[in-house]
Structures are given as C-alpha cells and as structure tokens.
Structure 1
Amino acid sequence: MMEHSMNKSFIAAALAVAAVSPFAAKADENNQLDNFFVAGNLGQSNYRVGGISDKTDAFYNVRFGWRWNGIVGAEIGYADLGKGKDNTDFVSTWAKPRVAQLGVTAKYNFYNNWYVTGHGGYLRSRTTAGVTVGNVSASEKSWNNGWYAGAGVGYDVTKNVSLALNYDNYHVKYGRAGASQSQLNTNIAAYSASVEYRF
C-alpha cells in the first residue's frame, strides 16, 4: 500500500514538472528566469468532517517558488490547517493537520495592477487526532498523501509587493485504507488574506 501511494506521489510530481517545463525552456532561451517569490497567508479554516463542524480556528500558509515570465511556475510550501474540534458534555474530539505541499502556481494581471492567481498540486499530511472522555485522553498520528487547490484575487501594491484574498481547499486523509482499518477523507476549506514578495 505504501509503495502504491509513493508511486502516485512520484507520478503527481512528474506531471507538475512536465506541465511547467515548456515555459521553463522558453524562459531559459530568453534569459528571463525570474520572479522568485515568497508568500504568506493568514486566515480561517473551515472543518466539516464526521462530527466536527468547526469554523473558528486559524490557518496559515507559507510558500516559496518562482514563475517564468511572471505567469506560471512551481511552488513548495507548508500549511497549518488549525485544529478542528467537537465538544459534547463528556467527550471532546479534535484533529490537527499539518501539510507540506508541492505544486504549480500561476498569476495573471487582467486590469492594471489587479490580478488573479491559481495554484494546486500534491500534499503530504501529518494529522494528529485525539479524543478525551472525562479525564482520559488518547491521540494518534497519521501520515498520508493528498492534494490541494486554490484561487485568489489581488492587487500589486508595488512592483515587488502584492496583497490578495484567497480560497484554498485541502484534501486530507487520516488513517490507513485496508481491510482492518478505515481511512477518513475530508476537504478542509481555508479563507485567507495574503502578502507576496517577489525578488
């Protein structure tokens, strides 16, 4: 099962590289490989999974990457999806996913300094989930593969600095798929504001 998941991961990464390689070749011909960037998002996560429906936790994301000709490129990043919680009188359940991400990114200026962005790709999640009954608590960690995608609209404040509003979706799994153990699949939404700095 692990080998099958790894194969899927390598295929996803290869497709991401293949998607941007034509742009890389053209940019290299023109000596225009530029627009390295760092971006930070801060906002709110929205959990709707199982008994958890939590819209109150913080979300943050940090990404590094580059775009050929300022339009399309690749990125790596890390996201903290907050902590989804569900509390009853005697039982409390929670989940804390953290993800590393690798994908493609695009930015298009459609009117003066206004632009739209999109990104998506592969993620590797580490989710810690737990339950507390009375004074007794238990937790367990799970590592899984998944995907993410998002879009935003923003404004170039200067040549190097941009501000944007964004929506992202993270498809995160918990547990191991198999005959003896179930696997939980969920989509976690994130709404955020972001700052991007281009070198």
Structure 2
Amino acid sequence: MNKLALSAAVAALALSPVLSQAAHADDTTAPTSTSNNWQDNFFVAGQLGQTQYRTDSLSHDNGVFQNVRFGWRWNGLVGPEIGYVYLGRPKDAANDAQLSVKPRAATVGVNAKYNFYQNWFVTGHAGYMRSQTYLTAISGDTSSRAKTTNNGLYAGLGVGYDVTNNFSVGVNYDNYRVQVGNNTSVAHDRTNVAAYSASAEYRF
C-alpha cells in the first residue's frame, strides 16, 4: 500500500502546478494549452509495457501491460479520464501444479498534463478501478477455474514530449492495487502491480 500511496502523493504534487497554471491559462506557452475550444481538449492515449507483481506467491511475476485511456483536460491541463487496462498473466509453477492469474480492469479517475519546458511535459493520474481476475489452477490431470470481481485504486506518473500540437510520446510508471478473491470459493488477497510502459497520446 506504501507504493500506491507514494505514487498518489507524487501525482498530487504533479497536479499542484497544473492547478496554479490553470488560473493563468492565457499566459501558457505549452502547445496543448492554447485552444479555447473545450472540444479540442479530448484525448486518447495508449500504453504498452511490462508489469511486475509485488508478491512472493508468484515465481513468474511479470507480464504484458496494455492500457487504453480516453479523457478530457480543462485548457489542456487537468480533467477526468476513463480507461481499460490489462495487467498480464503471471504464473507460479511447482512440481506438477501450476497457477495463473489474469487481471484486467476498467478505470475512472483524474489526469493532468503540465508542460515544464517548451515541448517537454510531466503527467499524473489517479483513480478507482473495477477489476476482474481469472484464476486457473492445474494439478496433474485436474484443472479448476474461477473469476472474481473486486475494487481497487491506481496512480501513475509520466514524462514525455509533444511531437506536434496533437501528438505526444512518453514513458510512464503506474501502480495498481489489485484485489483477488471473495473469501468463499477463492481466498481473498491483494497485491501491488507495478507497470513500466511507453505511451502515445493523440489530442483531438
């Protein structure tokens, strides 16, 4: 939980200059903050990278990370976002037994973008996620499958470059607080999932 709290705190710090900048939007030089048309502040972003599970129960704790987000920023600075994230499929194998976990989640939260030097910028986002986790256990010739739905939180930071007024690239670190199980058919557990990714964003 400390890693998520740290990410959220740093994301909040990233938002503070953005909120200050928003009060003086007419004085900005960032290429994404020049439009006065609210419809021009929509964006779609995609991320691709790798996850790492902060747990001792999975020996193969990494996987493919995929994230798609759609959102809006007031004056190109701060606003809401929704998204869908895939957190890979880590596995644990011992003797003849194998366990695989495949979480994915819908997300809703707040995002911000701040140009600190010419076309260079920092981003931050945080919010709530609703995850579905598919679990598969195989032991010899016997297999069992389960699906659980849980709540969680996420937060992340990034740095990037505006290639044009409408297109940006960047690198990112995100942390997802994932819960698994329902204390009935599947034991309840939670873990932090770190995601390292490259991103591309297009602004309408």
Report TM bin, short chain. 0.7 to 0.9
Alignment of 1:79-90 (within 5 A): 79-90=85-96
In structure 1, what is the equivalent of residue 84 of structure 2? 78
Please say which of residues 54-63 and 167-176 is displaced more in the overlay: 54-63
Gaps of 5+ in 2: 1-18, 26-34
The answer to whether the 8 A contact 2:36-2:75 is kept is no
| CA–CA distance in structure 2, aligned partners of residues 186 and 170 of structure 1 | 8
Tell me which of 173, 186, 196 is aligned to 1:191: 196
* Deviations, residues 118-170 of structure 1 (Å, cap 9, x unaligned): 00100000001121111211110000111110000000000000000001111
Structure 2: which amino acid aligns with 1:89? N
Gaps of 5+ in 1: 1-19
In structure 1, what is the equivalent of residue 104 of structure 2? 98
> In structure 2, do the counterparts of structure 1 residues 181 and 84 end up closer, same or farther at CA, with 3 Å as the change threshold?
closer
Higher strand share: 1
In structure 2, what is the equivalent of residue 118 of structure 1? 124
The answer to whether the 8 A contact 2:61-2:91 is kept is no
Structure 1 vs Structure 2 CA RMSD: 2.2
* Deviations, residues 27-78 of structure 1 (Å, cap 9, x unaligned): xxx9642310000000001123342043542110000000001110010000
Please say which of residues 186-195 and 82-91 is displaced more in the overlay: 82-91
2:55 pairs with 1:49: yes
Structure 2: which amino acid aligns with 1:77? G
Tell me which of 129, 144, 155 is aligned to 1:138: 144
Structure 1: which amino acid aligns with 2:199? S
- Length, aligned pairs only: 172
In structure 1, what is the equivalent of residue 64 of structure 2? 58
Shift of 1:182: 4.1
Q: What TM-score, normalized by structure 2, do the two folds share?
A: 0.78
The answer to whether the 8 A contact 2:59-2:93 is kept is no
Structure 2: which amino acid aligns with 1:139? R
Q: What TM-score, normalized by structure 1, do the two folds share?
A: 0.80
| CA–CA distance in structure 2, aligned partners of residues 42 and 166 of structure 1 | 10
Identity %: 56
| CA–CA distance in structure 2, aligned partners of residues 165 and 79 of structure 1 | 16
In structure 2, what is the equivalent of residue 17 of structure 1? none
Structure 1: which amino acid aligns with 2:106? A
In structure 2, what is the equivalent of residue 108 of structure 1? 114
Structure 2: which amino acid aligns with 1:99? A
Shift of 1:177: 5.1
